[in-house]
Structures are given as structure tokens and as C-alpha cells.
Amino acid sequence: MIRTLSRRLLNAAGLLLAVLVFNFALIHMAPGDPVEVLAGEMGGATPELLAEIRAGYGLDRPFHVQLLTYLGRVAQGDLGHSFYYDQPVTGLILDRIGATLLLVCAALTLALLLGCFLGVVSAQNRNGWLSHLVTLLSLAGFSAPVFWVGILLILTFSVALPVLPISGMSSVDAGRMGPWGRAADVAAHMVLPVLTLASIYLAFYSRLARASMLDVLGSDYVRTARAKGLSRFLVVYKHALRNALLPVVTFAGLQFAQVVSGAVLVETVFAWPGLGTLAYESLLRRDSPTLLGILFFSALMVVAVNIAVDLLYRLIDPRIGAR
Amino acid sequence: MSMTPTPPLLSVRDLTVAFRVRGEDAPVVRDLSFDLHEGETLGIVGESGCGKSMTALALMGLVPNPPGRIASGSIRLGDEELVAAAEARLRRVRGARISMVFQEPMTSLNPVFTVGEQIAETARAHLGLSAREARDRAVEMLRLVGIPAPERRVGDYPHQLSGGMRQRVMIAIALVCEPQVLIADEPTTALDVTVQAQIFDLFRELQDRMNTAVILITHDIGVVAEMTDRVMVMYAGRKVEEGPAADFVAAPRHPYARGLVNCVPRLVADPPDVPEPLFEIPGLVPGAEALARPGCAFAPRCPRAMPVCGREFPPVTASPGGRSVACWLDAEGAR
């Protein structure tokens, strides 16, 4: 167990290093000069001033020197300094990551729980109306672009039926509310972005859970469970579901990266103050240290989640890691 | 044993199980009647697809539905009618009064629960035991089915056990509530020969101890001769012959049953230089659509078929000693 974990951590470190180098090179090659963007926002600058800014950020040095300097700093836990915000990138990210994690975790939990439930129910009566409804909804979920779903939800529930806030994470007067009031305020703001982000994954998980349950319900051990005279509830939710969960958990782990990138779109549509919005803004501003920092952080999260999923497997299926 | 006047423990009458195939009902078990007495072992013999496993599932109330269902007939256990009984009542019978051991020990146990839990949950479901008592009962059952160090094994997962051990666990699950009827559907087919012998020894020992009636489904005539009191031969969903096992193996009546018995290779003391070719029943097991045709389903493969065989299913001819056969060759008044 500990050996597997340390091997996984070592792999993860190698992977993260590769991500850093690759992203750094990619952003270096991308067109657009951060210094010119900065100068533009300052209202123009002389070539001497440009050169000075460039030297100040070390941007005049050769590529490999810049890369090694950056890697050295990251190794010490310093993700650099934002050109635009003029503050440490780590601080910027830590300020925003809570909002993103809240969004991603809520959406993923909703998608997983509801997806598994719908999958199980529709697997039990595979030709019933509910099964067809789930198939239809998941097809819609697959095909609809996330931002479009978001805009549609805003138009429906914030404009036509003004019951939920349009965007942001809290109301303007949130400062005057008590702690519960503020929590309720954030919750109300979460509804639409979480629904939007969850919609596509809900579709995935309900299809996957349905297929997996159908497979498991036909297995010999489910027949044994029925032959024991167990109740239908125990047969389905104890004997079948636990086995059917494995592919769903695998998929959820693999998809976490996609959920994080999906969050970028959703955050942009709903002006959710998370990492996604920050990434989008940094990209437009050529704020490469911030962008690199966010990419690194996302990679870190994805790797961590995958290790967690591996450990979760062992809890669900005793056959894994028994050797 | 069949002479005892006590009423049978299990009584099946005119049981028909049908599968809906492309909008039509295809019978896979037809007009099947038999009795099972306390402590008796009944063998059901036949080729794959003859309806023996479906008969077992029908007794358990587990015919896969859809597409299958019990179309007609009666199954009585004691004085309880099981056909058309409510699911809740069937659930109290399954695993408690009738239980079943399946063919595939490798896949019949749930891989994510300990074997102890899989035995204990049956005891909890039917005997109302507490978690603690059920676990103790599981250890006791593992000991009973001959698993060494049961206190330790109770926490093992199925993948940590060999095929033979897993089948012992399946037997422990089946017997934990001391059922009146145990159905064993080819319980040793997936196991190697030495383990096979051990499992059968175990069956005999436990049957003596608990006085359980056993239905043993097999296609192995050797097993029939060794293990069963009475035997029933099925072909294409129907019973074609029934009788005491010893008499049957010595002199099968129905041409199909003769074929089955002749299929068993014999050990001879002084073999000829050129061994006799192994007997084989010509032709194939008929498909579901052939079963709906009138007449004897075996007629197309039968070496002694007569014109009448293709027209009408033969009446059952009973003879002394508890034997019966459904064949025109035995039917009175047949030309």
C-alpha cells in the first residue's frame, strides 16, 4: 500500500515537471508580448522603458535560462509574480481556488449521485418510460455545449422567471448579512452554474451507470443474491450497485480534468470568481506567470484526484491491490 | 423409499415454463410432473438446453422474466403453492426452505463482500439473527462444509479461495437456514475430478445430518449412479423416463436414455486392440421452435422412430418398481 503510494507520488512528480516544461515552452512560443500589453495599458511607452520592464522581469534572457529559473522557483513553492496584478501568483490562485473547488465539487457530486441513481433506476426497467427519458436527457446533455446551456438557464431562471441571481458568487449587500444569510446567498448563486456544469457529466454518468448496472444485474452473483431470498433493495443497492460503481468511479477520476476545464467556460458565463475566470483574463492579458501557475495548479489537482481514485478503488473492490 | 405412503415434500404438477421469443411463447419446460420426498435425492439428467436448469429456476421462482414465465402448472412445497405466489412470500421460501447451489462457483459469489458476510446475510434475512450471531453462524457453517481455519476464512474475499473452496462456501450459503430442499445445478462441472469427489462426499454427509431432500441436476450418468435414489430424464423440456437410479442405470428404457447411458465410456479389464468407437447420439439438441411441434421431440434422432412418433407425444407408461417412460415403444396398443 505505502509502496504503491510512494511510486504513484514519484510518477506524479515526474508528470508535473513535464507539464511545467511543456506549458512554459508553449506559452513562450505563443504570439503576443506581455510587455507590450502592459505598455499599452499604461498608455504607451518608449523603447527604453519597454527594455527596462523586460529586464526587470528577466524576459530578455535566453529561453533555457528563463525556464530553469522558473523551475527552480516552483521547486521552492514560488509560482512567480503576476505582470498584471503585480502580486505573487500563489496568493492570486489561493484567493480564487476556493470558489472553483466549490463549483467543481458540487457539480461533480450532483452529477455522480444523480447520475448513478438515474442509471440504477433506468437499468431496473430497461424499457420503461423513465429509462427512455434518461436516454433522451443524456443525449441532450451530451450534445448541448456547456456555455449554451448556461445562457439558456440564465434566460429562463434569471430573466424570464427572475428567481435566481444572474451571475457572480454573492450579492452586493452580502456584507450586511449574517453567516447563514451569506451561505444562503452563495447557495442561490451556485444553483445555475452547478446545474450547467453538472449537466454534461450527469449525462455521462447516468449512461455509464445504466450500462454497468445492466451488466451486473445479469451476473451470477446477483442471481445468487436473489436465490438467497434477499429483498429487492438489498439485491440492487448492496450486491449490484457496489460492483457497478467501479467503472463510474474510474470515469469520474479520469474526467476530473475535463470538469476543471469545463469550469473555465462556466465561470466565464456566470462571472464566477474562480480560477477559470482568472485563467481567461490572464490569457487575454498575456499574464504568463499567472496562466502558468493556474495550469500547474490544475495539473496538481488532477493528479491528486487520480491518486485519490486509485485509493478509493481499494475500498470498493477488495480484489484490487490484494497482490 | 418411493414406497413410503407419506405425502411428498415437494410436488410438481404439469409445470410449463415458456419463453417469449419474437412475440410467440416457446415452451422450454412442458407438462412436467414429479415428486420429491424428505431426505431423498432426485437426479435430473439431460443434455444442455433440455430444461433442467429452467426447472430448477422455476422451483426457486427465479425464471428470468421477461422473457420467461411459468405458463401453467403447480409447485407445492408442503402445503404451500409456489406458482403465482406473491414475491414477498417467495422471498421467504428462497434460501430458507428451498435453496440452490449453482454451477459456476467462480462467478456465483459477489467479489466485493467477504464470504462470511455472504453466508451471514442469508442467516440475518431468514433467521432474524443479530449481526454477531449471524457471523458466528457463518463460522460454524464454514467449519461444517470443511473449510480449514474457518475463524480466519470468514473474513476472506472470494478471490482468495480456490474453486472447490468457493463451491463449499456456496453450499454453506445454501444450507445455512437448513432448507428442506436443496437444488444443486451441476455443482461440480466447473471443478476438477478430485475436488468433485470431495464435494459429493460433503453433499452426502450434510444430507444425512440435515435430512435435506436434494435435487441434483447433472449430465453425468456416473454421478447419477453414485449419488441419487431416483432419476428423471428430460429431453426437450419433457420428462421422458423416471425410475430408481440403480434400475435406470442398469437398464434404461427410453431410446434417448439408452443413448445417454451408452455414451459413458467403460473401463474393461482386457481391451481389444482396436477399441470400440465411443457411442454418440446422432443429431443435435432441438431448438426452441422444434419444441412446439407435435409428437416426440426425440423422433428425428431416434434409431427406432415410427410414423406415430412424429404425430403425437407418447403416453406415459408406468411399470412396477416405480418406473415410467414416455415412448411409443412401451405404450400399450402401439403397433
**Closest C-alpha to A196, from A153, A257, A139, A155:** A153
Task: Reply yes or no on whether the pLDDT at B107 is more than 50.
Answer: yes
CB atoms within 10 A of CB B99: 29
Distance between CA B8 and CA B314 in Å, rounded? 26
Q: Model confidence at A45, in pLDDT bands (50, 70, 90)?
A: confident
Domain count for chain A: 2
CA distance B36 to chain A (A): 20
Q: What is the pLDDT of residue B231?
A: 92
Are A48 and A185 contained in the same domain?
Answer: no
Q: What is the pLDDT of residue B4?
A: 52
CATH number at A259 reads: 1.10.3720.10
Residues B311-330: what's their mean pLDDT?
A: 84
Q: What is the pLDDT of residue B183?
A: 92
pLDDT digits (tens, 9 = 90+) for A264-285: 888 888 888 888 888 888 888 8
Are A25 and A146 contained in the same domain?
Answer: no
DSSP state string for B231-293: EEEEETTEEEEEEEHHHHHHS--SHHHHHHHHTS----SS--SSPPPPP---S----HHHHTS
Are A198 and A231 contained in the same domain?
Answer: yes
Distance between CA B304 and CA B272 in Å, rounded? 29
Of B95, B108, B170, the CB nearest to A229: B95
Closest CA in chain A for residue B156: A318
Write out chain B residues lying below 8 Å of A220, CB-based: 102, 104, 107-108
Beta carbons of A219 and B125 less than 8 Å apart = no
Distance between CA A277 and CA A267 in Å, rounded? 6
Compute CA distances A281 → A267, A278, A287, whole Å. 11, 5, 8
**Closest C-alpha to A270, from A177, A144, A161, A164:** A164
Interface of B with A (CB under 8 A): 60, 62, 87, 90-96, 99-100, 102, 104, 107-113, 121-122, 125-126, 157, 159-160, 170, 173
Joined grid coordinates for residue A77: 513553492
ipTM associated with this complex: 0.84
Distance between CA A94 and CA A275 in Å, rounded? 9
Are A52 and A186 contained in the same domain?
Answer: no
Q: Model confidence at B197, in pLDDT bands (50, 70, 90)?
A: confident
CA distance B261 to chain A (A): 31
DSSP state string for B91-156: HHHBTTTEEEE-S-HHHHS-TTS-HHHHHHHHHHHHH---HHHHHHHHHHHHHHTT-SSHHHHTT-
Quote the percentage of chain B above a pLDDT of 90: 10
Are A24 and A140 contained in the same domain?
Answer: no
Compute CA distances A66 → A26, A31, A289, A292, whole Å. 13, 17, 12, 13
Task: Reply yes or no on whether the pLDDT at B232 is more than 90.
Answer: yes
Asked if the structure places residue A93 within a domain, the reply is no
Are A197 and A261 contained in the same domain?
Answer: yes
Asked if the structure places residue A91 within a domain, the reply is no
The residue written with cell numbers 450459503 in the block is: B173
Tell me if residue B168 falls in helix, strand or coil. helix
Asked if the structure places residue A85 within a domain, the reply is no
Q: What is the pLDDT of residue A110?
A: 92
Q: Which burial class, exposed, middle or buried, applies to B192 when counting CB atoms under 10 A from its CB (0-12, 13-18, 19+)? A: exposed
Q: Domain span at residue A140?
A: 98-316
State the pairing for strand pair B323-326/B316-319.
antiparallel
Are A53 and A192 contained in the same domain?
Answer: no
**Closest C-alpha to B181, from B88, B68, B58, B69:** B58
Are A200 and A297 contained in the same domain?
Answer: yes
Bridge partner list, B213:
B181
Are A186 and A250 contained in the same domain?
Answer: yes
Q: What is the mean pLDDT of chain B?
A: 84
Interface of A with B (CB under 8 A): 219-221, 223-232, 234, 239, 242-243, 316-319, 322
The residue written with cell numbers 509574480 in the block is: A81
Distance between CA A83 and CA B35 in Å, rounded? 89
The residue written with cell numbers 459429493 in the block is: B200
State the pairing for strand pair B238-244/B323-326.
antiparallel
Are A209 and A128 contained in the same domain?
Answer: yes
Residues B171-186: what's their mean pLDDT?
A: 88
Is the omega angle on the peptide bond into residue B66 within 30 degrees of 0, that is, cis?
yes
The residue written with cell numbers 426457486 in the block is: B60
